[in-house]
Structure formats: structure tokens, C-alpha cells
Structure 1
Amino acid sequence: MDTFFKLNRAKIRFAFVATSLTFIGFVFLVLTIAYFEKSLPGKEFIIAVFLAAGVGLPIFIITLSYTKWLYRKVVRRKAFSLQPFNQVENIGFVNSFSNIETKWDFTEKVKTTLIDGYTLIVDISEESSKNLELKIPVEWKKLDKTSFNELTDKFNRHNIEFGIGCLKKKYKTNGPPFIKIDELKLDLEKFIELIKEEGFEPKKKACI
């Protein structure tokens, strides 16, 4: 838990204050309506509700977020202990941190590298903990509907998907398609070659 607080101390404060003010505002609105309808509850009940909304619920939500953060940390550690992902440092990946520039998501440890000017970020997939997800932030390329559909079909054949501000692909950790780290490196290089051929430029400021 120490690591969680060290990485996210300011964000925890922000999350507590933001959720507390949101819940208190909602309670205040409900009590205002109750006041005008002459159905205001007793003072002790009102105090209890404000304490629950201003303190209890924010703590509960932050605890849930911490539980998810800890679960992802455990799953991530296990995934990067499996072959060939336990050797990604040998092909240039280093430890880095995600969500540094946003207050809305807690910071987590990920692995990143740079190939031909493109930033590659690998972490546990948000959709499935059985997958590692590789993201490459790219500049937006304007496509008409026909071109987009054709490109989507082409990317699907290479297990590539469109993400928000990025292109990505997933690797199963419970049965990876590669045994050797060199095979994974070659797949990443082919990934870069394909998106370069399609005219996608690396994001000038790739926010991890």
C-alpha cells in the first residue's frame, strides 16, 4: 500500500475532495427539496447522512480503486514473469509510469520503449487480465468511412485495433503465440512497419 500512496498521494487527495463535494452537493440538493416539501428529517439523521456522503462514501470508493490497483499489480507481476514477457528488458523495454498527467486515473507501473520514434507501452489489458496490451500513441489520421473499414479489416488480420489516440494489439499471457523474445521483437517491428506504411505518425507528445 506504501507504493500506492507514494505514486498517488496527490490524486488520492483530489479523489477524496472531488467525490466528497459531489456527494455532499447531491445530499444538499435532496435536503433542499425535502425542506420545501416540508418533509425534512431530524438533525441527527442529517448529520449522519452528511458524514456518510462527505467521508464514508469517498473512503469506500478510494478503497475499491485501491483494490483494483492492487489486483492489476499482482496480475501484471505474474504476466511479466512468463516467457517471453519476462525478457522484454532485453529488447529495450524499461519500467515507466502511466497516467502521470491526469488526476482522474491512478498512476501504475508499465513498461515502455521507443522504436523508430514510436512509443510502445505495454501493460495488462483493461478488458481482460489474461492479456497484455501493447499501445502505440499515434497522431489522428483523417479517414473516410470506406477507408476506415478497409483499414480496420486489414488491421484485424494482424491483430491490431484502433484505440483512443493509439493503435494497439493484445497478447495472451495464458498461451502466448511466441516462445522466444526475438519472435516478439520481430512482431513489434512488423507492427511499426505496418502503421508507417499506412501513414500513421507517432504522437508528438505521447502521454503514457
Structure 2
Amino acid sequence: MMTKFLELNSHKLKFAFLFISITFTSIVLMVDILASIVNGNGPINRLIVVTVLLTASIGFPSLIVGSVCLIWFNKARNRHRAFQKDPFDKLDRLGFKTVLTYEKTKWYFTEEIKEAEIHGYRVHCDVQRETPKKIDFIAHVISINMTKEIFKKLEKEFKNEDIYFDFDGCLRKIYSLKNTTGLTIENLNDDLKNFVELLRSKGFEPKQK
């Protein structure tokens, strides 16, 4: 897993560390300059200044980047487990392939998820970051303008099908990994086709890349 992480994110890891280091170091230097101005020519404990600078330039960046890496590893492990559980271990039969997310930005670490095209809709499959025992099938759709009343009506109707509105013009169908008894790959295939067709019937057209 470490090898895969470095393969996907080694350049981003360096950027993240340098960006955070420069940011915190600049803040510390500005505070130090302001303190010097306020104190006039008063004595400044250089040992404290050096310690704070080292903490800002190395300590904080290491802690923050390390924490983000742990989150990446934890989700990658949960994703691996989910994609080994029946019927999600057979997603390739439905046309799902491994794709990379956030590949073209330095602000997020790249991850591997599953993607397929279902009746013209681009559908991503991944575990939830906040609830790793649930797996999402996210359909990318074109946002439509709707009144609050229509939104509430659709929200209630979708909830009965375990479908929820998401950010960035997406709708997600959720499956609990704890409750997949009797769910076959054929059932899942039918579910996902019905999912996108329901979205189409409500006026949500597929969003292209």
C-alpha cells in the first residue's frame, strides 16, 4: 500500500510539505518581526525563536502531512475490504474499471476508485470516508433549478430508494456493507440501471467529463 501511495502521490507529498512549511514559517517570521517592533530593542530569546521556527518549518508540516497520509491509508484499506466483499468483488462484470481521482490537482492526494458508464451516466463507486461500512454509487448529473418544495419532494422520494443528494451536482445510491445478504451481482446490476433511469425520469441528465 505504501508503494502504491508513493507511486500516485510522491510529487504531491513534496508539494504539500513545502507549502505547509513555507506558510507556517512565514507566519512565525511575521509574528517575530511584529514582536520586535512592539518591544523596540528589548531582548529576544533567540533559542525560543529558533525552536518555534523549526517547529513551524518541520514539525507542523510533518504532523499535518502524516495525518493526511494516515487518512489516505485508512480509506484505501477500507476500500480494499469493500471490493473483496460479495457482490462488490464482481463489479468488473458490470463494466466498472479502476480510475484515478484528483489526478490533475496538487491539493488532494490521488486515490483509486471504480467507474463505469451506465445508460450514459458516469457512475463512481467508492466507500464513504466518514462511514467506511457503506459504499456509494455516485452518478454525475447536470444540476437543475428547482423550488424548495420540489427538492423536498424529490429528497423524500429518493430516500426511499437509498438515494441522496450530494455536492457538485451528484446523486448517490448507498449500500450498507453490513446488509448485503441476498444481494447478487445481477440484483446490483438491475438496481444501478433503475437508479440512473429514475434520475433521468426526474430530469437529471448525465454530466460528461
| Fold shared per TM-score above 0.5 | yes
For residues 9 and 153 of structure 2, what CA distance do their matches in structure 1 show? 42
The residue type equivalent to 1:6 in the other structure is: E
SS at match of 1:37: helix
Which residue in 2 is equivalent to 1:52?
55
Percent identical residues: 32
Give the deviation of 1:102 after TM superposition: 2.5
The residue type equivalent to 2:191 in the other structure is: D
Contact 1:171 1:177 in 2 (8 A): no
Which residue in 2 is equivalent to 1:12?
13
Which residue in 2 is equivalent to 1:189?
193
For residues 45 and 99 of structure 1, what CA distance do their matches in structure 2 show? 40
RMSD of Structure 2 on Structure 1 (CA): 1.6
The residue type equivalent to 1:138 in the other structure is: V
Contact 2:126 2:136 in 1 (8 A): yes
Give the deviation of 1:198 after TM superposition: 0.8
| Equivalence map 1:1-208=2 (5 Å) | 1-38=2-39, 41-165=44-168, 166-176=170-180, 178-205=182-209
Q: Which runs of 4+ in 1 moved over 6 A?
A: none
Structure 1, unaligned runs of 5 or more: none
TM-score (norm 2): 0.92
The residue type equivalent to 2:27 in the other structure is: F
Q: 1:40 to 1:14 in 2, by over 3 A?
A: farther
The residue type equivalent to 2:3 in the other structure is: D
TM-score (norm 1): 0.92
Give the deviation of 1:178 after TM superposition: 4.6
For residues 44 and 133 of structure 2, what CA distance do their matches in structure 1 show? 49
Give the deviation of 1:177 after TM superposition: 5.6
SS at match of 2:104: coil
What whole-Å deviation, never above 9, does each CA across 1:106-164 have from its counterpart, x for those lacking one?
A: 11110110112211101110220111111111111111111111111111111111111
Structure 2, unaligned runs of 5 or more: none
For residues 17 and 152 of structure 1, what CA distance do their matches in structure 2 show? 43
SS at match of 1:128: coil
For residues 177 and 97 of structure 1, what CA distance do their matches in structure 2 show? 30
Give the deviation of 1:28 after TM superposition: 2.2
Contact 1:84 1:178 in 2 (8 A): no
What whole-Å deviation, never above 9, does each CA across 1:155-185 have from its counterpart, x for those lacking one?
A: 1111111111211121111222652100011
Q: 1:159 to 1:124 in 2, by over 3 A?
A: same
For residues 51 and 164 of structure 2, what CA distance do their matches in structure 1 show? 48
SS at match of 2:14: helix
Q: 1:151 to 1:4 in 2, by over 3 A?
A: same
